[in-house]
A and B are shown apart, each in its own frame.
Chain A
Amino acid sequence: MENPRLEMRGIVKTFGPVTALDAVDLVVGRNEVHGLLGGNGAGKTTLMNVLYGLYRPNAGEVLLDGQPVSIGSPKDAIAAGVGMVHQTFLQVDNYTVTENIVLGTDVPGPLRLDLTEARERIRELSERFGLTVDPDAVVEELPVGVRQRVEILKALYRGAKVLILDEPTTNLTPQEVDDLFGSMRAMVDDGMSVVLITHKIRETLSVCDRMTVMRDGRRVETLERSDTDAEHLAEKMVGSTTDPGAVVEAAALGAVDAEAVEETLSSVGTTIAVAVRDLVVVNDQGHELIRGFDLELREGEIVGIAGVAGNGQVELAEALAGVRPLRAGSVEVSGRAMGGLATSSWLEHGVAYVPEDRHRDGILPTASITENLVLGSQRSPKVRRFGLIDWGAAKQRAVDAIAEFSVRANGPGTLVGDLSGGNIQRVILARAFARRPRLLILHNPTRGLDIGSTRFVYQQVRTATAAGCAVLLISEDLDEVIALSDRVIALYQGSRAGEWPHGSVDAYEVGRSMTGLGEARV
């Protein structure tokens, strides 16, 4: 390519013994949306963090407009015209949009904080690129999608020529995604370059001019949009896609259109496994976050809960897992009323919970894999002999589980805190499945996992449903929910905002319902 905007050559980055980036090259042209595609752990974010000055590379060089630049900190990056929008925003909640954007830049003088000019520029930028924002709004009152626009405007205000967006669509509704992509086009038409970090093939195909696929810290291939299609990209990203159920998995990964997939992973029975009626759950502050929720799950059925984070998902998951008390209503599992019972009784009755925050709620980091697998069943006769825990047998079971769930570890004595996220999730799943659950609650089960582990989770879900286990899948990943679920329920402010059976889900309709704009249909 002649005269590219950005060139990264032979970037190497190691963390201790782990090579996160192995001599990666990246060329981004002018007026180009460049997709950086790969699963978690592929090295996409690491590469961009190097560009943004958050990591120092062990080797390699960076050229902007043909000139070598040395970027040692985000400040250098901004000065060189590189801006980055992370998945989590660094914003002062009680400042206005304008104040947040101006914060950290040169203001007119130490004693005079006149933001009139700044406000005008922000208004101008937001109109030019279709990033609709009220400059005087206080950011804590804004929804996620708008706060993301604030973050983009921050980079534009600082004169970014190259804008990096790290998985920007994670928490957006389909409508907001369309708006964002429109803005991205407007930016490149205006002379900028945009790098879009994503693991969703569909997104790269719909908005990118060129794309670079990464896997295991290496660049696999760089392609023109016109030279490729979803299948080719999926193969580059995932490897082979010939296994049974691969279509569903690919859809859940965002490789193909989830709505069009007819296959399911479930095997729905006729017996009602779980019945939830008029459920009311409060959070730690006593606010009702689940209000009057009804749900019936049959054996082997997968029901997906779609929603924007903070609409009661955590409370629903914890209530159905027996971790959080029910304020009102009832939960029946296999015909037995569970309300008021201790968490351990729920566990004994076959309720298994894979929590969203694996590190906080799922594991004992300083304990071994063996001990973590015993957690929760330490009083069951299966692990005890003569009243004491039989660690020899537990260790043997851990060895088996490590093999069966392909946990990458040195052995059953490995501390779980030393494992990667994907391997931690495998340990948690191994523990959940060892109890032969009747109800499996999965909350964002694949978040932050690499593709291999994500697919592994899906395979395990299928195994569970085949054994008659009912699965409640609560996920912020709309593709995942739509692809895997027999029924999709939209959750908005603690109530159901719509329900669609598999095969007739319209992602836009779900998106509207998730944000409270749908027509109520129950």
Chain B
Amino acid sequence: MTAPPATPPAAPEAAGPRRVADALWLVVPSVLSVVAAFAVGGLIILALGQDPVAAFESVLTTSFNTRFGTVETLHKWVPVLLCAYAFAIPLATGKFNIGAEGQLLVGATGGVAIGILWSDLPMLVLLPCVLVAGALAGAVWSGIAAVLMVKFNVNEILSTVVLNFISFQLIDYVASHVWPDRGAGHPATVRVGEGALLPGIGQAPPLHSGVIITLVLVVAIAIFMRRTSTGFEMRAVGANLRAAQVHGIRTSRLAGAGLVVGGAVAGLAGAIEVAGVHGKMLEGMQSNFLILGIIVGLMSRGSMIAIPFIAFGIAVLEVGAGSMQRTAQVPVEMVLIIEALILLFLLLSDIARAKLRRN
């Protein structure tokens, strides 16, 4: 900048309260939605004849009372968060990736394959290979949907969902025919080599170091979306596809890239689950991460900064669910009901906010 501006920036003092008001309009409805969801959930628990206070106490405190709870929560946080990114990154370009669980499973397959085939390699070589293989495999899997979308205009919602089903068959085949663990009593592969396991942090139960990798990824994704040209272009496409095209952005190629990046992140989640939690691949390891990721992604309303925090909140609820069932005899599904209610109330609050602000 050579010449200083002729006039000072327009009314910065007016911007202050305005920004606060904008932030309040964003935060207050979210808080109210959570409170309302718990209130309705409490009523349902009452109707079941149980004590909602005791139930919520165990849901909300389990993660923080014991080291086991904390570690468990952070281990849950990693796949929920990565699946949320897998949903939210393509969504930034206006595309819906409903295939995070398939990408996670294929990523796990890629990771487990390297971990078993090269099991003799030292950790310094093997572990990065496992993680990279997971991310690549996930990227290839969502890449199929991306190619179908860009080249043949196939709806990405359909293709990613259908690819989930194929992935179930794929891991079933790998776990029962390629590297089966006959003694497991459940379709699962044999364990990966020692060098493929993420080292633990702290005393038992140890925290796997995938959490650190995830934290680095959180920062990297924030920088990617905020500071790189490609990230900016993705947001531009999501904000207004036509305007992005008019201003020289190759929108369909970019939307495809978003899907591939999302798949890579989900694939990495699969590899981290293998290398940090299970030490092998097993059927059902995708848990309900797909739906949780979608919930988190929708709750964030496009804010990449908000996603890690929301994902943490969901992880707390998920871990608390088990102990709630033990201590208050409320079924674990109650937590899923509350999560769904939060989302419903958030969507309602969007409508209410738009109406209120207009007046």
- A binding-site residues for B, Cβ under 8 Å: 16, 318, 321-323, 342-347, 353, 355, 360-367, 371, 374-376, 378-379, 384, 387-389, 391, 393, 396-397, 399-400, 402-404, 407-414
Contact of A410 among B18, B223, B239, B358 (CB under 8 A): B18
**A412 and B227 alpha carbons, distance in the complex (Å):** 17
**Is the CB–CB distance between B243 and A400 below 8 Å?**
no
Binding site for A on B (CB under 8 A): 1, 3, 5-7, 9-12, 14-15, 18-19, 223, 226-229, 232-233, 235-236, 239-240, 242-250, 358-359
Complex contact B246–A389 (CB within 8 A): no
Contact present for B233 and A378 (CB under 8 Å) = yes
The answer to whether B243 touches A323 (Cβ under 8 A) is no
- Bound Cα distance from A362 to B9, whole angstroms: 24
Give the distance in Å from the alpha carbon of A55 to the alpha carbon of B248 in the complex: 41
Q: Which of A367, A402, A407 contacts B239 (CB 8 A)?
A: A367
9 interchain residue pairs of minimum CB distance: A344-B248, A376-B247, A364-B239, A388-B227, A343-B248, A410-B15, A411-B15, A378-B229, A399-B9
Q: List 20 A-B contacts (CB under 8 A).
A: A342-B248, A343-B245, A360-B243, A361-B246, A362-B246, A364-B235, A365-B239, A371-B232, A374-B232, A378-B229, A387-B228, A388-B223, A389-B232, A399-B5, A400-B3, A407-B10, A409-B10, A410-B15, A411-B12, A413-B15
* Bound: A362/B11 CA distance, A: 26
Instruction: From known contacts A363-B240, A410-B11, infer whether A323 and B227 are also in contact, taking CB-CB under 8 Å.
Output: no
Chain A neighbourhood of B246, CB < 8 A = 318, 321, 323, 343, 353, 355, 361-362
User: What's the nearest-Cβ distance from chain A to residue B7, in Å?
Assistant: 5
Max count, chain A CB within 10 A of own CB: residue among B1, B12, B236, B247? B247
Q: Are B15 and A375 in contact, CB atoms less than 8 angstroms apart?
A: no
Known interface pairs A16-B358, A367-B235, A388-B227. Does A393 touch B1 (Cβ–Cβ under 8 Å)?
yes
A-side contacts of B233, CB under 8 Å: 378
Q: Give the nearest-CB partner of A323 in chain B.
A: B246
Measured in the bound complex, the distance between the Cα atoms of B10 and A414 in whole Å is 11
- Say which residue of B18, B228, B247 sits within 8 Å of A343 (CB atoms): B247
Q: How many A-B residue contacts, CB cutoff 8 Å?
A: 105
Question: Which chain A residue shows the least CB distance to B228?
Answer: A388
Nearest CB of chain B from residue A114's CB, rounded to whole Å: 46
Q: Complex Cα distance A306/B6, Å?
A: 38
B354 CB, nearest partner CB in chain A, Å: 13
Of all chain B residues, the one with the shortest Cβ separation from A348 is B248
Contact of B10 among A360, A362, A384, A411 (CB under 8 A): A411
How many Å lie between the Cα of A410 and that of B14 in the bound state?
A: 6
**A273 CB to nearest B CB, Å:** 20
Chain B residues closer than 8 Å to A346, beta-carbon distance: 248
Chain A contacts for B359, CB-based, 8 A: 16
Q: Which one of A321, A347, A389 has the highest number of Cβ atoms from chain B below 10 Å of its Cβ?
A: A389
Whether the pair A384, B15 counts as a contact (CB closer than 8 A) is no
Give the distance in Å from the alpha carbon of A389 to the alpha carbon of B232 in the complex: 9
Q: How far is the CA of A387 from the CA of B249 in the complex (A)?
A: 18
How many Å lie between the Cα of A366 and that of B22 in the bound state? Answer: 13
Alpha-carbon distance A322/B250, docked complex (angstroms): 13
Query: In the complex, given contacts A360-B240, A365-B239, A379-B229, what are 16 additional A-B residue pairs having Cβ atoms less than 8 angstroms apart?
Result: A322-B248, A323-B245, A343-B248, A344-B248, A344-B249, A361-B246, A364-B243, A366-B239, A367-B236, A371-B232, A376-B248, A378-B233, A403-B7, A404-B6, A408-B10, A411-B9
| Chain B residues positioned under 8 Å from A413 (CB to CB) | 15, 19
Closest to B357 in A: A16
Q: Determine the chain A residues whose CB is within 8 A of the CB of B249 once the complex forms.
A: 343-344
Which residues of the other chain, B, contact A407 by a CB distance below 8 angstroms? 10
Q: A393 — nearest CB in chain B belongs to which residue?
A: B1
- In the bound assembly, the distance between CA atoms of A346 and B243 in angstroms comes to 15
Query: Given that A343-B248, A413-B19 are known contacts, is A375 also in contact with B243, CB under 8 Å in the complex?
Result: yes
Q: Which residue of B lies closest to A384 (CB)?
A: B229
A431, closest chain B residue (CB):
B247
Q: In the complex, what residues of B have CB within 8 A of residue A387's CB?
A: 228
User: Please, which residues of chain A bring their CB within 8 A of the CB of B232?
Assistant: 371, 374, 378, 389
Q: Which residues of A contact B248 (CB under 8 A)?
A: 322, 342-347, 376
CA distance A318 to B5 in the complex (A): 34
- Complex-state Cα separation, A343 to B244, whole angstroms: 10
